[in-house]
Amino acid sequence: MSQYATLALEPQGRVLVVRLNRPEVLNALNTQMGRDLYDLWTRLTAEPGDTRCVILTGAGERAFCAGADLKERDGMLQAQWQVQHELFERGFMALMELPLPVIAAVNGHAYGGGLEFALACDFIYAARTARMALSEVKLGIMPGGGGTQNLPRAVGERRAKELILTGKAFTPEEGAQWGLVNRVCEPGALLSEALETARAIAENAPLAVRQIKKSVHYGLQTDLLTGYRFEIEAYNRLVDTDDRREGIRAFNEKRKPDFKGR
């Protein structure tokens, strides 16, 4: 796996921990981080290797990601801004399309694009001390990393409108009540709890995990019966696999299955 200027990669067996690594600026998203993330998600899509689950978190204790680097953006011409944002757009889409499950471990504040990173992941664990907001409206812009789409899908239209239109910050406990945050953790236990869940996912049949993620994600974009047809197509792709045969065999032999991803 390549080395990146703005990311720290920490392989943990079949789990890859990815840290946004600009703690001196609260892990703010700059152009280089946009390039690094897009490259990473693209590489993991094409050649995941032994990686079966990803955890996305931030370096340091203060922030997961403070959003876009506004110092870098200060004085940007419109054309420069749009070129940069197109890069960010490709990165967000690559993350949302990544076949591997991604857990956001929100270790600190997640504002603007930082919260959009977490929303683009499959689910969120958050440290109790974190604060989150889609605060772009306070800067004269609006979410541009999927926030107006992913937040309503998580918390409902009315709650999302309130949060995005006010730019109001909220706590992980509130996020959990609304269905946005899966688990609220003590700061020192966040990564270990995320790793425990990621390792449980990584032990399961990788082809099945990928098909489940796609079925849930794309099924929700359509009506129930069309979604069910998608599910059956995904299911049928798993029947004639070595992993399916190994799973049944291991169950009958009362042992742990050894899934190979084929």
Q: Is 136 a catalytic residue?
A: yes
Edge-to-edge strand list for the sheet holding 63-65: 63-65, 109-111, 132-133
Q: Could you tell me which residues are beta bridge partners of residue 132?
A: 110, 170
Structure tokens given for 132: 């989150």
State the Cα–Cα distance between residues 180 and 157, nearest whole angstrom.
13
> Considering only CA atoms, which of 37, 101, 100, 105 is closest in space to residue 68?
37
Kindly name the residue from 10, 24, 116, 233 that is annotated as catalytic. Answer: 116
Which regions of the chain does DSSP assign to beta strands (E)? 7-12, 15-20, 53-58, 63-65, 102-106, 109-111, 123-127, 132-133, 183-185
Options 136, 193, 246, 253, the catalytic residue: 136
- DSSP label of 170: B
**Distances from the Cα of 67 to the Cαs of 53, 58, 140, 145, 195, in angstroms?**
24, 12, 14, 10, 25
Beta-carbon contacts of 7 under 8 Å, excluding residues fewer than 6 positions away, are 18, 19, 20, 21, 33, 36, 37, 40
Find how far residue 225's CA is from the centre of its chain: 27
Q: How far apart are CA 201 and CA 250, in angstroms?
A: 18
Residues with catalytic annotation?
116, 136
